[in-house]
Amino acid sequence: MSTTRLPSRVEPYKLAARSERLEGLVPLADLARLTEEVGPQNGDLWVTLDFAIDAQGRRVIHGRLAADLQLPCRRCLSPMAQHVESEFLLGMVSSDDLAAELPSTHEPVLVEDEQLNLLTVVEDELILSLPQVVYHEEADCEVSRDQLTSGEGATASRGPAASPFDVLKHLKGKS
Ligand SMILES: [Zn+2]
């Protein structure tokens, strides 16, 4: 796995003409819209982008991304670890009219002045691939834990080593 940073701005037509592959990391903390959606994140987004001209003469980007995120549990709002990955196919277009001509297998990406902001593109893709709803297993969730411990006998069966809960508390305190 590469540890270089993904360049933020590229000239995608040239990359496609040369069938180049870009691979690199994007610090998750740099992605402001992601932070807005799911809270501050540590670590990196891993990205591979293969630029190409396909048999139909379209300039395309075949991309893959992966990240380990801390997403808020919908029930208790504590962060929980979630691995997110996605694969996508982008068709470069220079206008909205051309975007309409792309087959449904391709997502349009608008190239202006032969430039492309890769950070915007990969952040869009990451946000699109977030799971809609995440929540802990009932045994690990603070909400159900509170409900359980208020019931009779729940603490006895539970024992002291509710470790996923402790780990999450720890993570929460650090962020
Ligand atoms: Zn929870």
Reported as a single tens digit per residue, the pLDDT across 99-136 is 999 999 999 999 999 999 999 999 999 999 999 889 99
User: What is the C-alpha to C-alpha distance for residues 116 and 96, in angstroms, rounded to an integer?
Assistant: 15
The full set of domain ranges for the chain reads 9-135, 137-175
Token pair for 108: 């349009």
How far apart are the CA of 69 and the centre of ligand 1, in A? 15
Task: Give 65 Cα–ligand 1 centroid separation in angstroms.
Answer: 26
- Ligand 1 centre to CA of 139 (Å) is 9
Identify the band that residue 29 occupies on the pLDDT scale cut at 50, 70 and 90: very high
Residue 140: predicted pLDDT: 86
**CA angle, corner 127, sides to 3 and 145, nearest 5?**
100
pTM higher than 0.85: no
- Sign of the torsion angle spanned by Cα atoms 59, 13, 85, 75: negative
Tokens standing for 81?
A: 């670890």
Cα dihedral sign, 34-37-41-44? negative
**CA 169 to centroid of ligand 1, rounded, Å:** 11
Phi/psi of residue 78, nearest 5 degrees:
-70, 145
